[in-house]
């Protein structure tokens, strides 16, 4: 973009060049913001992974509410259910997948839950967090650990 502006700028006066520069900055802003945002998301994700790797024990299970399924791989903690709870398609309590997910969750409660706050889950699914304690929070992601009596 800078090269194009330089080549074109020889035909324009200072004010027109400034205007071209401002327009190009306006249209490039989303690109720069997305790059910066991805870096901060990765940092948050890395902190969650680091916390889990430092605090995990033997036979534990993990449940992720949101689109962070790579945490399973990065922490080597298995999922408690074959169903991923990622997108709103599973949210309806009338959904077969939702009911299967809840049944699996009740049969084998995970030790850890990663919850992405910006995903707007139905209130019924958030009830599963009742027996869990918030242990770590980073950006838009919370990490919960099961409360043992």
Q: How many CB atoms lie within 10 A of CB 99?
A: 14
pLDDT tens digits in sequence order for the chain, 149 residues long: 555 655 655 666 777 777 777 777 777 776 666 666 655 556 667 889 999 999 999 889 999 888 888 889 889 999 988 877 766 555 666 778 778 888 888 888 999 999 887 666 666 677 888 889 999 988 788 899 999 86
pTM for this prediction: 0.68
Which residue in 123, 25, 16, 14 sits closest to 65, CA to CA? 123
R_g (Cα) of the chain, nearest Å: 22
What distance, in Å, lies between the first and last C-alpha atoms of the chain?
Answer: 61
């Amino acid at each position: 973009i800078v090269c194009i502006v330089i080549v074109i700028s020889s035909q324009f006066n200072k004010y027109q060049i400034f205007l071209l520069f401002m327009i190009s900055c306006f249209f490039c802003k989303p690109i720069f913001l997305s790059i910066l945002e991805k870096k901060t998301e990765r940092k948050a994700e890395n902190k969650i992974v680091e916390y889990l790797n430092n605090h995990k024990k033997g036979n534990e299970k993990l449940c992720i509410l949101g689109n962070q399924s790579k945490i399973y791989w990065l922490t080597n903690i298995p999922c408690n259910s074959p169903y991923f709870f990622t997108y709103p398609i599973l949210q309806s309590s009338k959904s077969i997948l939702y009911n299967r997910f809840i049944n699996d969750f009740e049969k084998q409660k995970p030790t850890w839950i990663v919850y992405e706050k910006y995903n707007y889950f139905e209130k019924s699914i958030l009830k599963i967090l009742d027996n869990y304690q918030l242990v770590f929070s980073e950006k838009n992601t919370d990490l919960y650990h099961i409360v043992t009596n």
